Amino acid sequence: MRITAAVLREVGKPFQIEELELAPPQQNEVLVRTVASGICHSDYSIAHGVLRAPMPIVLGHEGAGIVEQVGPGVTHLKPGDKVIGSLTPSCGECVMCKEHKHFMCVQMGALLNNCTYIDGTTRHKTLDGEDVYAMCGLASFGSHMVMPAGSAIKVPDDTALESTCLIGCGVTTGAGAALNTVKIKAGDAVAVVGCGGVGLSIIQGARIAGATTIIAVDPMPEKRELAKRMGATHVVHPFEENVQQTVRKLTGGLGVHFAFEALGRVETMEQCWGLIRPTGRAVIVGIAALNQSVRLPAAGLLAEYEIQGSCYGSSSPAVDIPRFAALYKQGDLLLDEMITQRIGLHDINRAFEEMGRGEGARSVIMYG
């Protein structure tokens, strides 16, 4: 079928809005009409060459929509179902899935690294017949998506997809880091470095977990303001204050139990190591360029400092995505407040320029 999509042909160049041919869903795949897609920082990282991907490509991996067609072998979905696209296909067959670590499903490799579908082929073609790759097997910067059936997570019919699309990546990554990757106890102290969509979701997860000191670090005044609305008890401007001293002062001189990094910069990953108390843990949620290294002063090890990565909120999407949708419905998880603007697909280049300047938390593309 013919779809409209934002196609990236070269790093650092604007997206081109093009008509593409999208193949029908194959075995264990579904066709979804895209209703809304958030723009995530990983899209920006690929568009600017920090993360690598084959081109031409349709980016977008924070999409939600309505199932239009199911391929052979799909039994848990039917046309008309509302779904949120997940970053992992949760194949259910691999060792990681069998250990309930769906966020590490071995089938993700084809989707994330090769930007093909699980069988190694593409579903998108230009009208001239050229293969077009797809980010995460989703490609939500397109008016329709073909995705692995395991990536299509059904949510209740009364779910507002125009806001819950954020659960597909940023919210699950952030709230999941606070609620799944680590066990925050009621009364714990937490710091969050970087208050974009992921950082704001970490703050919300920490609030839901019962943390009573939540220190948000971001240079942008509007993001610090948003952080307070999401549950931050204190905010810090990292260039005007000494972050480490301020965090110590706010935590009785000790530092926090958990310091989360949500920027993907090695400097701030190292900074998080300096914010934790003895036996505390630095939790790295942001994604740095993969050839970079983090250097940590060894002295922290004597105080049993820990550092841990967190991938996709350590989530099992079939459980966590409906859980976060329910938390949104009952008012515990704030999503509308995180959305800075809603745009049409044609405004995507402007939204990426704004993201490059660090403006706003989330732009959401609306289709139809």
Q: Give me the residues that bind Zn ion (CB under 5 A), please.
A: 40, 42, 91, 94, 97, 105, 169
91 vs 138, which CB is nearer to Zn ion? 91
97 vs 155, which CB is nearer to Zn ion? 97
Nearest-approach distance from CB 99 to Zn ion, in angstroms:
10
89 vs 255, which CB is nearer to Zn ion? 89
Q: How far apart are CA 216 and CA 202, in angstroms?
A: 10
Instruction: Scan for tokens 């670590």, then name that residue.
Output: 101
Question: Six-digit token pair at 41?
Answer: 């920082």
Q: How far apart are CA 136 and CA 116, in angstroms?
A: 8
34 vs 42, which CB is nearer to Zn ion? 42
Nearest-approach distance from CB 22 to Zn ion, in angstroms:
22
**83 neighbors 32 (Cβ within 8 angstroms):** yes
32 vs 97, which CB is nearer to Zn ion? 97
**210 neighbors 184 (Cβ within 8 angstroms):** yes
Q: How far apart are CA 204 and CA 101, in angstroms?
A: 23
Q: How far apart are CA 340 and CA 361, in angstroms?
A: 6
Residue 4 region, left (φ>0) first, then alpha (ψ -120 to 50), else beta?
Answer: beta
Nearest-approach distance from CB 339 to Zn ion, in angstroms:
15
Q: Which of 41, 43, 7 shows the shortest CA–CA distance to 22?
A: 7
Please, what's the largest Cα pairwise distance for the chain? 65
* Secondary structure (DSSP) of 104-125: G-TTHHIIIII-S-TTS--SEE
The 8-class DSSP code of residue 160 comes to: -
35 vs 91, which CB is nearer to Zn ion? 91
